[in-house]
């Protein structure tokens, strides 16, 4: 990179806030999707919004692209650096700025971890609802960018339902505030489009979140089934009975065995396990829990365990949340997919995945948020065997096709990133994608903000809208405006 540009950057963030050394930059070459790698031109670690603004102004002035990154736990390559760009690592902006219990709000910098938010307010009886499995190590900035979900979003929604306001720096270095502490700030819902924009519109520097009161009662059961179909039937039965549990998670045999080996949750031996959690007022939970048990029995659950204590519940969840990591014990490599299907299509899609497993010879573990139809098939492979990595990639891509065939989505919570940008045309028409990019052009007409992500081909934004400016051709007398 241009030494003058690097010197300017260093002046902004200080010698301790810039990483230029090739070996050190390797740390940042990928996010949680390690197969996509690219070493950044340079990395900076700003400590304040003013530093972020100054970095972006420099980029804007020189046309250098930039990518913001939190903890790098994303699974779609959304934070994969640009080889000729600046990687802005937000981890040093990690302060909790304001806790407002009476109004159930908290304002944090983007580098604060997801679980830290809950920990900060837990003693007051509150928590932050979105709970991705990586919540111990993923940051709020990344959650904001990806619209992260988690196991409890069936009832409580996603990040977009829990972010009230945000301060962001635009690609030209200008600071704007969207939403706020109060609801219904007048204006277009830019917040709704910023959440989940995968860092392609702006860089978040301060986020106000909604806190929820811990429920008075929580009850969790674990039901074991002889087939994933039976477990799927139980899910439909629960929803069909008008019950919206806080969470409904499903694991198949491959995942159960892996979790058992890794963290010993003492799961029963079964083809499928359903983890159902109800929360709310005591009387409601008690009454509905009985219905859920009935539905599971009717769907031929061979065993039902009810968590009697908080420790037991924690054990159930530990088994579920460790599933991804546990697969590392079963397979040297695996590819996590993140498709979504209408919940009622579960049996059909699972059958197709099983057929694909047989056909490809690659083991596929299934762990998913069954309540909202978000599948996480883990395609196992061995990188040392030639051709397996690309086979796994093809299998994973095929699973997405199954999801789209039944009206689903290519991503429920991991994002499109760099990984699935080329899949977007399978889900959206050119016009759809073009329309989305009108938003991009409004925020970042020069495409400096995390370029190459989400969209397979960038839209040309054309003339920057605004007050009339004379075109060079007009000035030269070569053209006139009508």
Partner 1 sequence: MAVVVSTEALLAEAALHSGAGTVRVAVAADTIDGVRPRLVATPTSQKGLAATLAWATAERLQVLVRGGGTKLTWGAPVGRVDVLLSTTALASVVKHRHGDLTATVEAGATLAQVNAVLAAHRQWLPLDGPWPEQATVGGIIATNDSGPRRYRHGAPRDLIIGVTLARSDGQLAKAGGIVVKNVAGYDLSRLLTGSFGCLGVIVSATFKLAPVAPASRTVVVDVESLDALFPLIDQLQGSGLTPSALELEFPPARLLVRFESVEDAVVQQADEAVRLASAWGCARAAAGDAERDLWTRHARLWEESATLVKLSTLPTELLPTLTRLENLAVASELRVAVAGRAGLGVVVVKLEGAVEAQARCITALRAGLPIGRGSAVISRGAPDLRQRIDPWGPIGDGFRVMQAVKQRFDPNRTINPGRGPGGL
Min dist CB 64 to partner 1, Å, is 22
Helices 253-263 and 310-321 meet at what angle, rounded to 10? 120
Cβ nearer to partner 1, comparing 40 with 77 = 77
Minimum separation from the CB atom of position 373 to partner 1 (A): 6
Residue of 171, 197, 191, 87 lying closest to 461 (CA atoms): 171
Please calculate the CA angle 284-288-289 and round it to the nearest 5 degrees: 110
Pick between residue 26 and residue 283 the one whose CB is nearest to partner 1: 283
- The first and second tokens of residue 411, run together, are 């991503």
The Cα-based distances of 294 to 217, 288, 369 in angstroms read: 20, 10, 21
Exposure b/e, 438-476, CB count within 10 A at least 16 = b: eebbebbbebbbbbbbbbeeebebeeeeeeeeeeeeeee
Residue 41 vs 196, nearer CB to partner 1: 196
- Between CA 332 and CA 315 the distance in angstroms is 25
The CB-of-22 to partner 1 minimum distance in angstroms stands at 34
Select 12 or 239, whichever has its Cβ closest to partner 1: 239
Which of 19/410 has CB closer to partner 1? 410
Q: How far is the CB of 149 from partner 1 (least distance, A)?
A: 6
The string over 8-18, giving b where at least 16 C-beta atoms fall within 10 Å of a residue's C-beta and e elsewhere, is: bbbebbeeebb
Closest CB to partner 1 among residues 16, 180: 180
In whole angstroms, the minimum distance from the beta carbon of 432 to partner 1 comes to 5
With 0-12 / 13-18 / 19 or more C-beta atoms within 10 angstroms meaning exposed / middle / buried, residue 334 is buried
Question: Least distance to partner 1 from the beta carbon of 308, Å?
Answer: 20
Nearer to partner 1, 176 or 261 (CB): 176
- Residue 52, class by beta-carbon neighbours within 10 Å (0-12 exposed, 13-18 middle, 19+ buried)? buried
**Nearest by Cα to 367 from 355, 378, 357, 356:** 378
Contact at 8 Å (CB) between 402 and 373? no
Residue 366 sits at the vertex; the CA angle it makes with 362 and 372, to the nearest 5 degrees, is 145
Token pair 């859920």 is found at 292
- Tokens 């990928």 belong to residue: 30
Q: What distance in Å separates the CA atoms of residue 51 and residue 291, rounded to the nearest whole number?
A: 55
Comparison of 217 and 391: residue with beta carbon closer to partner 1: 217
Indicate the residue among 19 and 370 with the shorter CB distance to partner 1.
370
| Residue closer to partner 1, measured from CB, 206 or 315 | 206
Q: How many angstroms separate the first and last alpha carbons of the chain? A: 43
| CA gap 324, 334 in Å, rounded | 9
Task: Name the minimum Å distance from CB 82 to partner 1.
Answer: 20
**Nearest distance from C-beta of residue 266 to partner 1, angstroms:** 29
Tokens 């046309």: give the residue.
63
Shorter beta-carbon distance to partner 1: residue 174 or 383: 174
Strands 217-225 and 86-89 come out as unpaired
CB of 55 to partner 1, least distance (A): 19
Q: At closest approach, how far in Å is the CB of 189 from partner 1?
A: 5
Task: Write down the least CB distance from residue 40 to partner 1, Å.
Answer: 24
Parallel/antiparallel/unpaired status of strands 175-179 and 212-213: unpaired
């Amino acid at each position: 990179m241009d030494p003058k540009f690097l010197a300017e950057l260093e002046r902004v963030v200080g010698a301790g806030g810039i990483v230029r050394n090739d070996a050190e930059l390797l740390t940042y070459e990928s996010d949680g999707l390690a197969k996509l790698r690219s070493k950044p031109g340079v990395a900076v670690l700003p400590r304040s919004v003013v530093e972020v603004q100054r970095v972006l102004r420099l980029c804007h002035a020189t046309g250098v692209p930039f990518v913001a990154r939190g903890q790098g736990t994303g699974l779609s390559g959304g934070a994969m650096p640009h080889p000729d760009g600046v990687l802005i690592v937000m981890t040093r902006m990690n302060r909790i700025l304001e806790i407002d219990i009476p109004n159930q709000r908290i304002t944090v910098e983007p580098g604060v971890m997801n679980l830290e938010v809950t920990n900060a307010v837990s003693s007051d009886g509150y928590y932050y609802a979105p709970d991705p499995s990586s919540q111990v190590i993923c940051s709020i900035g990344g959650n904001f960018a990806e619209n992260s979900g988690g196991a409890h979003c069936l009832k409580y929604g996603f990040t977009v339902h829990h972010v009230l306001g945000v301060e962001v720096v635009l690609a030209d270095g200008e600071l704007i505030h969207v939403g706020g502490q109060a609801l219904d700030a007048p204006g277009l819902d830019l917040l709704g489009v910023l959440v989940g924009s995968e860092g392609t519109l702006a860089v978040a520097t301060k986020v106000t979140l909604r806190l929820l009161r811990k429920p008075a009662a929580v009850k969790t059961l674990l039901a074991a089934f002889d087939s994933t179909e039976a477990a799927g039937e139980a899910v439909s039965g629960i929803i069909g009975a008008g019950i919206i549990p806080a969470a409904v998670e499903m694991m198949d045999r491959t995942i159960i065995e892996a979790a058992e080996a890794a963290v010993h949750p003492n799961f029963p031996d079964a083809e499928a396990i359903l983890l159902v959690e109800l929360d709310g007022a005591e009387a409601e939970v008690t009454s509905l829990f009985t219905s859920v048990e009935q539905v599971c029995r009717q769907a031929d659950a061979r065993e039902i365990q009810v968590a009697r204590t908080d420790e037991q519940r924690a054990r159930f969840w530990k088994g579920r949340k460790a599933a991804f990591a546990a697969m590392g014990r079963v397979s040297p490599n695996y590819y996590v997919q993140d498709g979504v299907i209408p919940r009622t299509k579960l049996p059909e899609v699972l059958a197709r995945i099983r057929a694909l497993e047989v056909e490809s010879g690659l083991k596929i573990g299934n762990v998913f948020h069954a309540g909202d139809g978000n599948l996480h098939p883990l395609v196992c492979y061995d990188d040392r065997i030639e051709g397996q990595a690309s086979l796994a990639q093809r299998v994973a891509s095929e699973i997405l096709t199954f999801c789209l065939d039944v009206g689903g989505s290519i991503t429920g919570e991991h994002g499109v990133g760099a990984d699935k940008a080329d899949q977007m045309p399978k889900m959206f028409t050119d016009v759809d994608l073009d329309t989305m990019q009108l938003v991009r052009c409004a925020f970042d007409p020069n495409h400096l903000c995390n370029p190459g992500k989400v969209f397979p081909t960038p839209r040309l934004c054309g003339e920057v809208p605004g007050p009339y400016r004379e075109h060079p051709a007009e000035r030269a007398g070569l053209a006139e405006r009508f």
